[in-house]
Each structure stands twice: as structure tokens, then as C-alpha cells.
């Protein structure tokens, strides 16, 4: 067509005016290239929204301890934060302390065995309850049990090991004196965690 224009024929189109039958679709994963029968071609690439959805799988960690404050925080998270595709990690840090009696005295093996069993049963019950709640709602996730550490240290360690994106936990109302004497697990986690932390406070019963 360019030659025709130079020879005084039909003016050349400013666009590539190839015959449609010679133009090919871009390769698609599920088919070979084929001749175009219409223009524009079928959309090949995902939209921006589709790309965002493919890359926003979030891994959230919920700290459980068997108390109503933690249970409320878990329920609050499921109702207000969780969305389809999120992965939920439930962590329980056993505050188990072994009492073996007076130093130097004979160890009461029966008492020690009882303490170990009680701690183990409690941990299993808490995590099993959480697992059942996830399963009943069709939420993918798993549980983590941390032992041998203070609860606040175990929570932070678990969040780092499991590469959690966000941590959720409940909190108890402690008096100023209690916070000075025993400290607050939630306060420690907020100050030292390397991921965002949401503290869910349980409303007071009226």
C-alpha cells in the first residue's frame, strides 16, 4: 500500500493494515495461536484486581489461652477481619510449671506425672476446639503448641517462625498493681513483635 501511495494510488493508512487472516493471537496457556476472526483479540492478561487477589493470601495468627478474652478475640477476628483465602494459625503457649517439691527432697513421681498430663490435656483441648471451629467454617489453618517459654515469648517466637502477617490476641483488665507485679502479655507482645498486633478488648458485661 505504501508503494501505491508513492505511485499516486490510494493513500496509505497510518496504521499497520495487514490482512486479518495473517494476524495471530498471543499464545495462551491452554491453546495454540490461531488466526484472528475479530478485533480486538480475546483478553489475554488478568486485570489488576485479579493480580491483587492472587497475591494477597494473608497468614494471621491468633493467640489462644483457654480464657474467654482469647475466645472473644478469635470470634471477633472471624467476624470482622477474616476473608476468603486467608490462612489462620492458632497458637497456644503452655504456661506449664513443674512443681517437684522442696529442693533436695525425693521427687513425687506420681505428682509430676499428674501435672504433665493435666498440662498436656489442657493444651490439646484448647487447640482441638479451635481446630473444630476452623473446620466447621471451612477456614484453612493449623495449630501451634509452644512450651518451655513464657506465653509472651512463645507467641512472638511462633509469629516469626510461621511468618505471620498479623497477630491477634485478647487482653485481660489488670489493675495498675497487677501490671507492675506480673506484667501484661499483650503489652509485651505489642512492644516486641515484629509484625502488626491487634489487641481485642472484650466489652464489659452490663
Tell me the pLDDT band of 97, cut-offs 50, 70 and 90.
Answer: low
pLDDT digits (tens, 9 = 90+) for 181-196: 445 888 899 999 999 9
User: 10 Å Cβ neighbour count for 57?
Assistant: 11
Tell me the pLDDT band of 75, cut-offs 50, 70 and 90.
Answer: very high
Residue range 54-75: average pLDDT?
88
pTM score, whole prediction: 0.64
- Least Cα distance to 203 among 176, 181, 177, 171 occurs for 171
Separation between Cα atoms, residue 63 and residue 70, nearest integer Å: 7
C-alpha distance from residue 1 to each of 22, 108, 114 (Å): 16, 101, 94
- Give the single-character DSSP code of 141: E
Separation between Cα atoms, residue 92 and residue 119, nearest integer Å: 12
Domains and CATH numbers, the chain: 57-201 (3.40.50.620)
Nine-digit cell string for 68: 474467654
Average per-residue pLDDT in the chain?
74
The better pLDDT of the pair 156, 49 is held by 156
Separation between Cα atoms, residue 189 and residue 175, nearest integer Å: 18
The better pLDDT of the pair 124, 6 is held by 124
Amino acid at each position: 500500500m505504501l508503494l501505491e501511495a508513492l505511485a499516486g494510488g490510494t493513500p496509505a493508512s497510518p496504521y499497520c493494515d495487514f490482512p486479518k487472516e495473517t494476524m495471530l493471537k498471543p499464545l495462551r496457556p491452554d491453546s495454540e495461536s490461531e488466526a484472528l476472526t475479530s478485533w480486538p483479540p480475546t483478553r489475554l492478561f488478568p486485570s489488576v484486581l485479579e493480580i491483587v487477589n492472587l497475591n494477597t493470601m494473608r497468614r494471621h495468627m491468633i493467640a489462644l489461652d483457654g480464657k474467654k478474652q482469647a475466645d472473644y478475640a478469635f470470634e471477633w477476628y472471624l467476624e470482622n477481619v477474616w476473608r476468603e483465602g486467608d490462612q489462620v494459625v492458632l497458637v497456644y503457649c503452655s504456661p506449664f510449671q513443674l512443681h517437684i517439691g522442696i529442693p533436695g527432697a525425693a521427687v513425687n513421681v506420681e505428682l509430676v506425672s499428674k501435672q504433665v498430663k493435666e498440662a498436656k490435656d489442657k493444651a490439646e483441648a484448647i487447640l482441638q476446639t479451635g481446630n473444630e471451629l476452623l473446620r466447621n467454617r471451612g477456614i484453612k489453618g493449623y495449630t501451634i503448641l509452644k512450651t518451655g517459654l513464657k506465653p509472651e515469648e512463645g507467641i512472638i517466637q511462633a509469629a516469626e517462625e510461621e511468618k505471620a502477617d498479623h497477630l491477634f490476641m485478647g487482653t485481660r483488665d489488670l489493675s495498675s498493681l497487677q501490671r507492675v507485679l506480673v506484667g501484661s502479655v499483650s503489652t509485651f507482645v505489642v512492644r516486641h513483635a515484629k509484625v502488626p498486633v491487634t489487641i481485642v478488648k472484650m466489652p464489659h458485661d452490663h
